Structure 1
Amino acid sequence: MEKLNIDCLVLIFNELCKDNKSLYSCLLVNKEWCHLVVPILWNNYPSYFINVESREKFFNIIISCLSPSSKQLLFDNNIRLSQTILSKTPTFNYISLCKFFNGEILTCIMRMVFKEEFLIKVDSKKVYLFLREMYKLFISQCKGIKTFVWDTYEPLLSFPGALTFFSQLYSLKINLWFIDSNSLYRMSQICNDLGELIIENCSQDIPGLISLIDAQRNLKIVSLEFKIMDGSCEELGTCEELSKALARRGCTINNLSLHDSVDVIPHSFLTSLVSLKYLGIYYDCESYERNIEFQKYLAISKFPDLQSLEIKDDLLCFKKLAMLIEKTKGNISNIYVETCNESAENTGMLLNAISNHCPRIENLVTYLGPNDLIYVKLLLMNCRNLVCLNLFGLNENSDIGDKLLDILIKFSPKCLIDILISGYWKYSIDVFVNFFESYRGRKFCFNISDVIEYITKEHLNVVKYYFDEGIVTYSNLLNYIKL
């Protein structure tokens, strides 16, 4: 029998990743196959280790890779490891094969090692010692880690192998509760090729963070969470320098997420993000001044290549969003809008902008006012790729329900299979039935939002009938039916 070359075998084994049982059996064929399969298995953790027994075996293998000096240090400090781990020398340098590393894995390993002690009252010195040795293990041995979560006080940059480990990162998530400015500055000297940077718990300018952003050559994805660290306003500062640093990277950043519960960052940097494709704004801060400033820069910004827009803001202005959409090139496929502002205006202006400038849109979540039905008709006529349509009400009872359903019956594209409409609107049974009949021959998901004040037992029976017919695949109204 002619022998397959190594490249062919690797291709076959990578395909078998979808079937881990078959891949495991390949380990036992011969030594060559074993050496080819083991790196693939370790590269694809954690999909293979679902049950507790498999996870514990996996974690024990990781611990067995500790150096003899680390094992001895843990033993001397009364951190009990099994005798098998202490004496066993792994067949492979498994840690060097890892393409993953996060704090969740370490937490699971600690729970296994300390058992009940970890759940009740564990000696903090033991935990810190164990964590330090585990971090040293991964940082010294892993050469291909692309994603890392930095959420520890441990001096990771001082560990052996840190230069190689951190210089190859693509994605870095930083929790500023644990990291000081000097550590961030040192990281900026090592890590210059990040494509993704996620910052949590930011409440003021940090020089080291500014240096880290400035050091990146091709930063594409940025996510920032602004939050007061100790629950008080004493540490609350400003993020003016952070705003300027983001502006300096405006030509490369194409994905931006802002999570804000405090008013700290000026939004002037938005006008510099000329390459933006994905924008997510998730604001819980009700500062009127912050909102006016945010809307000002949103209105004058231009994101011609924008593809996805998600806005959650308690003081949302639909007019400014409409102005933003009108300046795009028609590539938007996803728009999600959420607000608690019951007095919001210009919902129709936003719908009109979407219908005229977003021909490729597939998913739309927004609000519908009592005078906006004409824009729904235009939307359905112009946006024939629409798959998901969610139309919320603004806490106002209205008789537009039947007219809305009639428009959906007449103008919905065939691909529209996920619909949510407001419970603030009234729907007659006859039109309700006609709407579901219009989907006969198709399958779709149907939900009612806000309230179900005008949804009667007859409405519920209609939904149940079309669910039994196989036309409705899911509806939240089914939860109200007593089985």
Structure 2
Amino acid sequence: MSKLNKDILFLIFEELKDDKDSLFSSILVNKNWCEVAIPILWKDPWKNLIKERLLLETVVSFLTNESRDYMISHGLNLLIKPDKLPLFNYISFCRYLNLHKLERIIYTIRNIKEEIKWSMISEEIFKLFINKNNRFTHLIIPYGYKRQIQYLSGFEHCFSELESLRCDVKTNQGFLNGLAQVCKSIKKLVVNVRVINKPGIIDLIEAQTKLEDVRFVFDLMTRRIDDILFYRICGKSLVKRANTIRHLQVNNELIPNLSSYVNLISLEIGTHEHNASWNNLENVSLPSLRILKAHKVPTNILVNFIENNKGILLEIKISDISFEVHTKKLIQAIYNNCPNLQYLELIINDDDILELENLLINCKHLDGLILNVFNINTDEMGWDRLFEILIKRASKNLFKFKFIHRTTIKFEALKNFFENWKNRKPMLLHFIEMFHLSSKHLSLIESFKKKGIIKIFYHDKFSYGFDDFEWIKMR
């Protein structure tokens, strides 16, 4: 095993890229293993970063004598010169640059009060990353970032092959304009939209030729009137890239021409406006669409959209809808038009439980089900009926469940659910709730884990550790 050639080792270690403990152990085997594992470990040194000070010490060990002499001449003799040079040029292996975490490790340096000295140290450390010897494929820019790194020597070389960018519309506009001049092949773009929207991001979108995954993450608490103009202009830039975009997460106002996105595979759409217009979703058919996530989209609009995309949807997530409009019709639209559905998140109340039974009968390929239980009366038979239907109608494929609930789950109903799950595939179970699972409930769950009825169980309040249709692997 220790004599495997480097190509084989690379393939093996790439599979272990998220398992840092195993990779760290690998570098101790022999020289070949070490030479293959080190670049993978340093590809993204910011991921799951815990020992910030240790990373800083490694980084500053690459400071040149010229940089050290320059800082010493300005009264900064705090960065200890290593006894010997590092074995590898670790920084050259970095393909991910997280500017937020880079700034954080710099600020682990203590006892500096003058801003000019902070600026001096930061500039010298940034030069270790931004130069003609490094290339980055992934870049994260934090909120309101103001540093003008586009003027550093080697900026164009560093970011000319950028594939993924996460930034903010309020990011320094000079920086965004610099990226627009250099980066033409970004595939994934994640944009945080805040109160003050500026045009730099629009120029960046216009410059791209390979956009595949575009996500606008909105601050739903704030909005200005002039945002409408920003959305309109930005939407026009996006639609020019419609043929290449496969994944889209947007505010409704950003996509006036949704039908142009003919190659779209996943769509996440929502709004924070109560009186938003949804004409752009009416009578739209997207032949490649497989994933739909909707937030605050009226149920009648969703019904129309699902009917127009009959037979192709594999995942549906519906959140924050109003129950006064056609809730049952929405569930009916899903089970009448989505026979191949594999994952579903749905809001239900007492009146929808019987329609849930019809859904389970018609959607035989369901693998995972998330039920946002909006209003089930604990003192009546709501929970009993819900679990009875799951036992009776769940196909053999269905064994992954999440329950998002605001009322206490009836203990006897839950116990009966577990007892009648025998001879089925052990379930993956996740409860997301606010103070409604007692120690008695948790003990019951643990007892059925020991019996093999439940394979994995998670219990939290907000599900921050998981993606939507994810039951095991935490982010």
TM over 0.5: yes
Q: 1:362 aligns with which of 315, 321, 342?
A: 342
**8 Å contact 1:399–1:425 — kept in the other structure?**
no
TM-score by length of 2: 0.79
Q: Which runs of 5+ in 2 are unaligned?
A: 461-475
Q: Residue 197 of structure 1 aligns to a residue in which SS?
A: strand
Which residue of the partner structure matches residue 149 of structure 1?
A: 140
The one-letter code sitting in structure 1 at the alignment partner of 2:370 is N
**8 Å contact 1:205–1:238 — kept in the other structure?**
no
Q: 1:405 aligns with which of 375, 383, 387?
A: 387
1:368-396 CA distances to partner (integer Å, 9 max, x unpaired)? Answer: 35443443223212222323223334447
Q: Which runs of 5+ in 1 are unaligned?
A: 478-483
Which residue of the partner structure matches residue 158 of structure 2?
A: 165
Task: State how 1:82-101 maps to structure 2 within 5 Å.
Answer: 82-85=79-82, 89-101=85-97
Percentage of pairs with the same residue: 26
1:271-307 CA distances to partner (integer Å, 9 max, x unpaired)? Answer: 3222221222354x2x333x2x1x2222333323222
Which residue of the partner structure matches residue 469 of structure 2?
A: none
TM-score by length of 1: 0.78
Which residue of the partner structure matches residue 289 of structure 2?
A: 306
Q: 2:58 aligns with which of 33, 57, 61?
A: 61
Q: 1:317 aligns with which of 287, 290, 298?
A: 298
1:217-250 CA distances to partner (integer Å, 9 max, x unpaired)? Answer: 1101111134499x78487562211111111111
1:419-454 CA distances to partner (integer Å, 9 max, x unpaired)? Answer: 33766699694x66543332013422556777899x
Name the CA distance, whole Å, in 1 between partners of 2:195 and 2:16.
47
More helix by share: 1
Name the CA distance, whole Å, in 2 between partners of 1:418 and 1:43.
34
Which residue of the partner structure matches residue 435 of structure 1?
A: 417
Which residue of the partner structure matches residue 417 of structure 1?
A: 399
The answer to whether residue 88 in structure 2 is matched with residue 107 in structure 1 is no
The one-letter code sitting in structure 1 at the alignment partner of 2:419 is E
Which residue of the partner structure matches residue 275 of structure 1?
A: 263
Name the CA distance, whole Å, in 1 between partners of 2:316 and 2:387.
22
Larger Rg: 1
**8 Å contact 2:429–2:457 — kept in the other structure?**
yes
The one-letter code sitting in structure 1 at the alignment partner of 2:421 is Y
Inter-CA distance 46–190: structure 2 relative to 1 (3 Å threshold): closer
Q: 2:192 aligns with which of 163, 179, 200?
A: 200
Task: State how 1:177-326 maps to structure 2 within 5 Å.
Answer: 177-180=170-173, 182-203=174-195, 206-227=198-219, 233=224, 236=227, 238-239=229-230, 240-258=232-250, 265-283=253-271, 285=272, 287-289=273-275, 291=276, 293=277, 295-313=278-296, 316-326=297-307
1:326-354 CA distances to partner (integer Å, 9 max, x unpaired)? Answer: 2326343322222164x442222222222
Q: Residue 288 of structure 1 aligns to a residue in which SS?
A: coil
**8 Å contact 2:60–2:79 — kept in the other structure?**
no
1:30-65 CA distances to partner (integer Å, 9 max, x unpaired)? Answer: xx7665554344336457x8764xx54443221122
Inter-CA distance 40–207: structure 2 relative to 1 (3 Å threshold): closer
Q: After superposing the two structures, state which structure 1 stretch, 400-409 or 62-71, moved more.
A: 400-409
The answer to whether residue 332 in structure 2 is matched with residue 336 in structure 1 is no
Inter-CA distance 361–427: structure 2 relative to 1 (3 Å threshold): same
- 1:320 is displaced (CA, Å) by 1.3
Residues paired across the two proteins, number: 448
The answer to whether residue 70 in structure 2 is matched with residue 73 in structure 1 is yes
Inter-CA distance 207–448: structure 2 relative to 1 (3 Å threshold): closer
